């Protein structure tokens, strides 16, 4: 099979018939063999009834329904597990992404050998309250993730080689960072394509302002887990040891100074009268706690069933 289109959807009943029809037209015009996997993320507006009805008309449609709303990432994850096509395309259900982009995305993966091609909504049809924070979010993500060539990490329209989606796990709200997850999994050819962005035709957006706060926290955890997930002691331990020894040396220095002054019968300062002493104490305590945190984190990661899970590309 050439293409799997994975569509996460939550209360998008009105859009679905148009979305399916449009995808079908594009696929047939280009004579792709395809499947459309509609993942109903616990909708309560009758989306599933629409999916069942559409499935009777188009056998290429597959449906998966969650019993409750788990979020877009969860929906994408089960869609990825089910996908069988050589190229997997993700697309929002709200008709903001255009299926007409699919042939070019497919070509980039197959002929230009990209692992991931991410859409870039260069000209957006969203309110200013969303486009401005999004710019900031993208530039921070570019810096932190080491993928300098992407402008629009969270674009719903993306294409992947099948290996990629089978290797990565999208959870929580990590759908914003799939290119970063792919990069950490070892896929390096990550490209971009300018795509058309259309105004939402039916229904309302499912994400509020919290997307920016959650998004930033997720970026920090991706960065940390990617870099130190398998060796937390190297992060906490090094900072802890540094802080502890610095504190210890300062404390010893201050006490020694006083003892020397006493030995010479000189005028001495009380240890507790020196601000530096308290700084040293704090450094010792913080250092020790950082070290303990690293130790506990190390035990946690040692117990993880994934501690020896690596991504093997080839074997002979
Ligand atoms: N979505 C989902 N589960 C959720 C929230 C959203 O599957 O809990 C789907 C939604 O139906 C749509 C896509 O994720 O297909 C993008 O959502 P939306 O269009 O509301 O986001 P925006 O375009 O405002 O970023
Ligand atoms: Mg949308």
Regions of the chain where pLDDT drops below 50: none
CA–CA distance, 19 with 17 (Å, rounded to integer): 5
The rounded Å distance from CA 207 to ligand 2 centre is 9
Ligand 1 atom at minimum distance from 70 CA: 8
CA–CA distance, 91 with 308 (Å, rounded to integer): 33
* Residue 206 CB–ligand 1 contact under 6 Å: yes
CA–CA distance, 24 with 149 (Å, rounded to integer): 32
* Residue 66 CB–ligand 1 contact under 6 Å: no
Model pTM score: 0.85
26 and 100 Cβ atoms separated by less than 8 Å: yes
* Residue 71 CB–ligand 1 contact under 6 Å: yes
Domain residue extents for the chain: 3-228, 232-302
The rounded Å distance from CA 205 to ligand 1 centre is 6
What is the structure's pLDDT at 178? 94
What is the structure's pLDDT at 62? 96
What is the structure's pLDDT at 208? 81
3-228: CATH superfamily: Spore Coat Polysaccharide Biosynthesis Protein SpsA; Chain A (3.90.550.10)
* Residue 93 CB–ligand 1 contact under 6 Å: yes
* Residue 212 CB–ligand 1 contact under 6 Å: no
What is the structure's pLDDT at 69? 95
């Amino acid at each position: 099979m050439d293409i799997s289109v994975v569509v996460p959807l939550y209360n998008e009943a009105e859009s679905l018939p148009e979305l399916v029809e449009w995808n079908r037209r594009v696929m047939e015009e280009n004579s792709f063999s395809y499947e459309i996997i509609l993942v109903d993320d616990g909708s309560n507006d009758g989306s599933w009834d629409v999916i069942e009805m559409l499935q009777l008309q188009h056998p290429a449609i597959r449906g998966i329904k969650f019993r409750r709303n788990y979020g877009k990432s969860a929906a994408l994850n089960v869609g990825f597990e089910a996908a069988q096509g050589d190229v997997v395309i993700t697309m929002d259900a709200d008709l903001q992404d255009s299926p007409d982009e699919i042939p070019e995305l497919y070509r980039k993966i197959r002929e230009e050998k990209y692992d991931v091609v991410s859409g870039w909504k260069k000209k957006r049809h969203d309110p200013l309250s969303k486009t401005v924070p999004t710019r900031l979010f993208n530039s921070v993500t570019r810096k932190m993730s080491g993928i300098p060539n992407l402008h629009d990490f969270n674009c719903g329209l993306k294409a992947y080689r099948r290996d990629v989606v089978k290797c990565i796990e999208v959870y929580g709200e990590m759908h914003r960072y799939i290119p970063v997850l792919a990069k950490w999994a070892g896929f390096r050819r990550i490209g971009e394509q300018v795509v058309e962005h259309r105004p939402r035709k039916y229904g309302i957006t499912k994400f509020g302002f919290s997307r920016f706060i959650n998004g930033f926290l997720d970026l920090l955890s991706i960065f940390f887990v990617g870099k130190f997930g398998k060796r937390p002691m190297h992060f906490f331990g090094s900072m802890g040891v540094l802080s502890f020894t610095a504190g210890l040396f300062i404390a010893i220095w201050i006490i020694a100074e006083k003892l020397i002054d006493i030995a010479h019968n000189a005028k001495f300062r009380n240890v507790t009268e020196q601000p530096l002493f308290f700084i040293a104490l704090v450094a010792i305590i913080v250092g020790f706690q950082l070290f303990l945190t690293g130790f506990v984190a190390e035990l946690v990661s040692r117990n993880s069933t994934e501690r020896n899970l690596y991504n093997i590309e080839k074997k002979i």
